[in-house]
Amino acid sequence: MNDVPDYTPPKVWTWDQANGGKFANINRPISGPTHEKTLPIGQHPLQLYSLATPNGQKVTILLEELLALGHNAEYDAWLIKIGDGDQFGSGFVDVNPNSKIPALMDRSGPKPIRVFESGAIILYLAEKFGAFLPKDDTRGECLSWLFWQMGSAPYLGGGFGHFYAYAPTKIGYAIDRFAMEVKRQLDVLDRQLANNEFIAGNTYTIADIAIWPWYGGLAQGWLYDGAEFLSVQDYKHLQRWTKQIGARPAVRRGRMVNRTSGDPASQLHERHAASDFETRTQDKLQP
């Protein structure tokens, strides 16, 4: 690791965009829109504006699981290109003032309801359709693990992922600090899954749906090329769970929605009907 020289913080911080690294063009210390742009609205009550990051996948996986159960959860999924700054358009900021994907508009009632933050969206949808959220004494366990994920993933993404994969300079202390914390989180999950088929017990819930895109993705080597560095193969119970969840057809479909990288056959940039998985993946649209 190449550590930077000692840094002494100034008395008052000022923004230097040149120090922003790979994402300098989309990070800034203020909120609000940078340009006017109206969001599209499709034919379905649920309008999702997202990208297939781990947080975006949570929502599309849940929606596909709801549809697989027969719920009337049809949705339009519109692609938000965060690298291009789409999240700073005025229409998107109206749905999510924090300018982060995913964001949802529920237009099924007399008044549109906006929901932002991935955990809030999947909890909202689970309650709306009465699925994947236990009603018995395991409800508290499910919600605890859902909020565990929301509190823990910033260490994995914003912490480990940033300093290990994206920071312009490798800082040994930062990488070691966040690697230690992520390893602890992997151990937490592995111990929980040693005695439970799923995260919150023996039932598949939104806790699994929230945790899998992040920690399942890491366990399978999809995130940051950090699998070998973190010895993810050592977490046997996590590996078993990861593969079990990943084999679900709805999970496979959910991972495809708003995806813009990888195999073109796995990329469905926008999803407006179930048939789109067969007819509108990028391999079929490319000339």
pLDDT by residue for the chain (287 residues), tens only, comes to: 555 567 888 999 998 877 766 777 788 899 999 999 999 999 999 999 999 999 999 999 999 999 999 999 999 999 999 999 999 999 999 999 999 999 999 999 999 999 999 999 999 999 999 999 999 999 999 999 999 999 999 999 999 999 999 998 899 999 999 999 999 999 999 999 999 999 999 999 999 999 999 999 999 999 888 999 999 999 999 999 999 999 999 999 999 999 999 999 999 999 999 999 999 999 999 76
Q: Supply φ then ψ for residue 149, to 5 degrees.
A: -65, -45
Pick the CATH number of 31-131+257-287 from 3.30.390.30, 3.30.70.120, 3.30.465.10, 3.40.30.10: 3.40.30.10
Two tokens at 260?
Answer: 């813009």
Domain 139-253, what architecture?
Answer: Up-down Bundle (1.20)
Where in the sequence of the chain do the CATH 1.20.1050.10 domains occur?
139-253
What are the residue ranges of CATH 3.40.30.10 in the chain?
31-131+257-287
What are the backbone angles phi and psi of residue 143, rounded to the nearest 5°?
Answer: -65, -35
The pair of structure tokens assigned to 89 is 């358009």
- DSSP structure string for 127-171: HHHT-SS--STTHHHHHHHHHHHHHHHHIIIIIIIIIIII-SS--
The pTM of the full predicted model, rounded to 2 decimals, is 0.95
H or E segment to which residue 54 belongs: helix 54-68
**36 Cβ contact partners less than 8 Å away, ≥ 6 residues apart:** 89, 90
Nearest to 86 by CA among 29, 34, 151: 34
DSSP 8-state symbol, 13: -
